[in-house]
Amino acid sequence: MADEVQDRQQQPKSQKRKRLGIAAGATGALIALLVIPPLVNLNHYQTRVTHLMAASLGRPVRMSQVGIRLLPRPALVLANLTVEEDPAYGAEPVLHANSVTAPIRLLSLWRGKLELASINADEASVNLVRTTDGRWNLDALVGRAARAGAESGAAARLHLPYLRATNSRINVKVGAEKLPFSLTDTDLSLWQDQPGQWRLELKGQPSRTDLSVNPGDMGIVELTATARTAAQLRQMPLKLDLEWRDAQLGQLTRLLLGRDPGWRSDLRGELHMDGTADLAQVKTRLRASGVHRVEFAPASPLDFDAKCGFVYHYSAHTVEKLSCESPLGSGRVKVMGELPGNGPARLTAELDKIPVAAGLAALRTLRNNIPADLEAAGMVSGRIDYAEPAAAETNPDTAKPVKPEAAKQAKSKKPEPVMVSPLTGSLLVQGFQLSGAGLTQPLKSEKIVLNAASGRPLALAGTVVFDLDGTAPLEASLRLGLYSFQVGLRGQAAVARAREVLHASAAKGGMLLDQLAGDPLNVDLILAGPWMPGEEPEAGSSDSLAGTVAVHNANWKSDSLVNHVQVAQATLHLGAGQMCWDPIDFTYGPLKGTATLTLPVDCQNCAPHVEAQFAELDAETLQAALLGAHTKGTLISELIDKLHPAAQTVWPHVNAVVKVDAFKLGPTTLHKVVMTVAFTAEGAEIGSLDGELLGGDLHLTGAIKAGDKPAYELKGTVERLNPAAVGQLLGERWSGGELNLSGNLSAAGYTADELASAAKGALHLDWKHGAAAGAAGAVPLALAHFERWTAEAEIASGSIALKQNDVAAGSRKSAVEGSVSLTVPAKATFVVPKDAHAKH
């Protein structure tokens, strides 16, 4: 109890002594701050600091002034600090900072010396320079530090304090050219743990000065390194750890390549180095998540995690003992090799049980036309070696003597290069199977061997046989390159199975087999294209499907037609950006002929082109086939409803050329007919219709409009008609010179009677040196013999009625009245005066 009382009495005394000590220390510090600065000769220390930094760096150092800061800690404030460059590396300063703060060790001032605890630069600019022969401007600093470590005395004691730069920029130059790459917002610390041993810490954001990039997507680079001084930078023992995190792949590739290839993902990279620049053990790791193209996002983006290790020689620019490994699906990919700086590269890729499904998933990140429900099964294993061929050498001891004339000839001929593939090895695909995507039965192959293909470009090639329908095999030849692929299909296949395969492959042209049925097809096709469309010019910009498909005894159904088109035989030619059926031997109801159908592949707004050839054709039959008949139960009468304006189905846009040897047009026949017509949703535009009619030349243009009844608008001429043939058509006896007709006509209907009653238009006649005769009193005397007859006629109410006309016979001119009925057969009727009857 007595001890406790004594402790309570002594406790206030110890606390009182502690307070007195703190007060005395504060008073001393205040006195020092007031007394010491006036005693400091700043000009003297400016010279001392300049000399210290110049001697340590081996570079001239300049500063505009030196100030002193008291709080929170005494420090020198250096303004406009500049460290000059060695002229061998350029004229730009190594370092420049507007403001540098250097805290002072107070105890050194009592000893009459100046020692700086650290040097802190803010918003500094640092230039790293590499000459064309591989030397860096840091070599001089490293070499000077190495010599200082080997010396004794004052030189050995001369060293830099802790150096730090914040919010700074690091630029990179090659010779006099400043590269666009730099580190911005950089925090850098450099110090010596002990004489001869350096520590470096750096954190910054990569950037380019020649591009506008998003800084937030560039990621952050963090580096820590420990190095010991050596005569040269490349000889310094170095241990380095670098991490690049939070980088976005699109902006990163734009930073490195100067362009955006269109990839997106989140990246994280690591690098660990141990050794020297001339002999460095390097380990790297690159991780990416959500890899996809910018144009589309696949259902399951790719992730990868690749690790590499190698030995790097800076002076020789060689990579030895390269070993990279990455999981892929449930398997692994391993790449090994040597990359000598001046010799041929050697690489080996080993695949161990890689799922085919992983390859399909990778393909989905490259292309957005892969069916979402397409599934793949199987495993890929094997080894591929890549060895660049060395330069060929000739052994002079084994060379045979060559005659001068032969040597001269050989010299004039350029030797043909021998294409030797640098690839060897093979891959084995076991249990391959494709299912889904509309395939009623999977495509299977128990074993596929892909061997290194000869020649260039580099590729793997193999052959696989698929039994599509259980009757005839279909052989597929594969050639898979680095940038492109090629698949050849040859053999027989049922129409339905061939259609399934083409649709599952997303190949352009598969739709041509839609609505086609018949005997098995004879297929000889090549599907080729780049893995990633539009990315590699040498691989092409898009897929191409080339070759032929032969069809026999088939029928084809279009949404625009009610009935099937029967095809005896046809050949589909694919290539050159188009698909062409040529020839097509077809039958459509009463129509029989041959045709060529050409469809552009890469043009969305281009109409197909059809050329059809008929030996004989009837106008009424053609109208029934194309537009339907007036009564139910005929060829395609149901099409009438489809052509109604309220109908949903419309005619496709098609440009056609129709050639007919003999075209029956009612009571007469056109010969050698050539018609160009463009079908649209509203009907058809007749660009031209040319042929031979009644001994003359017919030329028409016009349109056919679909509606409740087909409507015709025609305009044209008939030149050099044979009057005898025209008279015979009208039941008259006509003769004489050329007869020319021109005019326009509009009509609507299905039958001849409907067309005749609805016909309206105008007609112009010009007949020279003619004569007309018929039944007694049927033809006016003025038409018996005349030099020229010109007439205007009106088409209406089922007839052609003469209007203003002029019949010239010598000096006499007269006019006649008459009409022609639009019936079958047609009948001409003239008004003959009574006196003319008696005279006649």
Confidence bin at 109 (pLDDT 50/70/90): low
Q: What is the pLDDT of residue 510?
A: 58
How large is the average pLDDT for residues 552-577? Answer: 80
**Structural domain includes residue 244:** no
Highest-confidence range of 232-236, 711-715, 775-779, by mean pLDDT?
Answer: 711-715
Q: What is the mean pLDDT of residues 397-409?
A: 49
Using a CB cutoff of 8 Å and minimum separation of 24, what contacts does 555-560 make? 555/516, 555/517, 555/518, 556/515, 556/516, 557/515, 558/515, 558/652, 559/649, 560/642, 560/649, 560/650, 560/651, 560/652
Which residues are 447's β-sheet partners? Answer: 430
The 10s digit of each residue's pLDDT in 203-235 is 999 988 888 777 778 889 999 999 887 777 778
Q: Note the pLDDT of residue 337.
A: 94
Q: What is the pLDDT of residues 68-102, one digit of tens each?
A: 777 777 788 888 889 898 888 888 898 899 888 88
Residue 352 has pLDDT above 90, yes or no: yes
So what's the pLDDT on residue 618?
84
Selected residue with higher pLDDT from 460 and 420: 460
303-343: pLDDT as tens digits: 889 999 999 998 888 999 999 999 988 899 999 999 987 88
594 and 732 part of one domain: no
Closest CA to 141 of 233, 49, 276: 233
Q: Does residue 520 lie within any of the structural domains? A: yes
Cα pseudo-dihedral 48, 54, 55, 57, rounded to 10:
140
What does the pLDDT read at residue 393?
41
pLDDT, one tens digit per residue, over 618-676 is 877 776 666 554 433 333 344 434 433 334 345 668 899 999 999 888 788 999 999 99
Q: In the prediction, which pLDDT does 512 show? A: 64
2-21: pLDDT as tens digits:
555 455 555 555 666 666 65
Residue 533 has pLDDT above 80, yes or no: no
Helical spans, DSSP H, in 184-278: 249-257
Greater confidence, 745 or 437? 745
pLDDT of residue 143: 61
Residues 743 and 600 in one domain: no
Tell me whether residue 54 is in a domain: yes
Task: Return the pLDDT at 180.
Answer: 86
Final residue belonging to a domain, choices 585, 604, 623: 604
Residue 97's domain comprises: 41-209+223-233
Is 137 part of a structural domain of the chain? yes
Q: What pLDDT, on a 0 to 100 scale, did the predictor assign at position 398?
A: 41
Asked if residue 596 and residue 730 are part of one domain, the reply reads: no
Task: Give a yes or no: residue 200 inside a domain.
Answer: yes
Taken in order 592, 593, 594, 599, is the CA torsion positive or negative?
negative
Residue range 149-173: mean pLDDT, rounded: 68
The average pLDDT across 295-305 equals: 83
Q: Is the pLDDT of residue 535 over 60?
A: no
Composition of the chain by helix, strand, coil, percent to 5: 20, 50, 30
Q: Are residues 55 and 202 in the same domain?
A: yes
Residue partners of 16: CB distance under 8 A and separation at least 6: none
For 175, the token pair is 């010779």
pLDDT, mean of residues 177-194: 86
Q: Is residue 393 part of a domain?
A: no
Decide if pLDDT at 840 tops 80: no
Last residue of a domain, one of 201, 233, 265: 233
Spell out the residues 6+ positions from residue 84 whose beta carbon is closer than 8 angstroms to its own.
Answer: 59, 60, 61, 62, 93, 94
End-of-domain residue from the set 567, 583, 604: 604
Please give the average per-residue pLDDT across 784-801, as a whole number: 93
Residues 242-278: tens digit of each pLDDT = 999 988 888 888 888 888 888 888 999 999 999 998 8
pLDDT reading at 720 higher than 90: yes
The structural domain count of the chain equals 3
Q: Does 94 fall in a domain?
A: yes
* Chain segment 745-768, per-residue pLDDT in tens: 999 887 778 888 889 999 999 999
Mean pLDDT for all residues in the chain: 80
CA 637-640-645 angle, to 5 degrees, is: 170
Average pLDDT over residues 188-201: 84
Calculate what percentage of the chain has a pLDDT beyond 70: 79
Q: Residue 463: inside a domain, yes or no? A: yes
Per-residue pLDDT for 151 more than 60?
Answer: no
Tell which residue, 440, 562, 442, 437, has the closest CA to residue 495.
440
141-159 average pLDDT score: 53
